[in-house]
Amino acid sequence: MSIKWFKYSSPQSFFPLAGKLALWFGALALVACGVGLYIGFFVAPTDAQQGEAYRIIFIHVPAAWMSMFLYLVMAFWAGLGLAFNTRLSGMMASAIAPTGALFTFLALWTGSLWGKPTWGTWWVWDARLTSELILLFLYFGFMALQAAIDDPRRADKAGAVLALVGVVNIPIIYFSVKWWNTLHQGASVSLTQAPTMAATMLTGMVVMAFGFWFYSIAAALMRARCIMLERERASEWVADYGRGSA
> Alpha helix locations (H) across the chain?
11-38, 57-84, 87-119, 127-148, 152-166, 169-179, 199-231, 236-244
Choosing from 23, 144, 198, 239, the residue that interacts with another protein (CB under 8 A) is: 239
DSSP β-bridge partners for residue 51:
47
Please give the residues from 28 up to 57 whose contact with another protein meets the rule CB under 8 A: 41-46, 51-53, 55-56
Closest by alpha carbon to 231, among 99, 97, 100, 95? 95
- DSSP assignment, residue 168? T
Q: Which of residues 177-236 bind another protein (CB under 8 A)?
A: 215, 219, 222-223, 225-226, 229-230, 233
What b-and-e string marks burial along 80-115, b requiring 16 or more CB atoms within 10 Å of the CB? bbbeeebbbbbbbbbbbbbbbbbbbbbbbebbbebb
Give least dist CB 205 to another protein, A: 14
Examine residue 242 and tell whether it contacts another protein (CB under 8 A): yes
Which of 18, 59, 96, 127 lies at the binding interface for another protein (CB under 8 A)? 59
For another protein, the binding residues (CB under 8 A) are: 41-46, 51-53, 55-56, 59-60, 63, 98-99, 102, 105-106, 109-110, 113-114, 116-117, 215, 219, 222-223, 225-226, 229-230, 233, 238-239, 241-243, 245-246
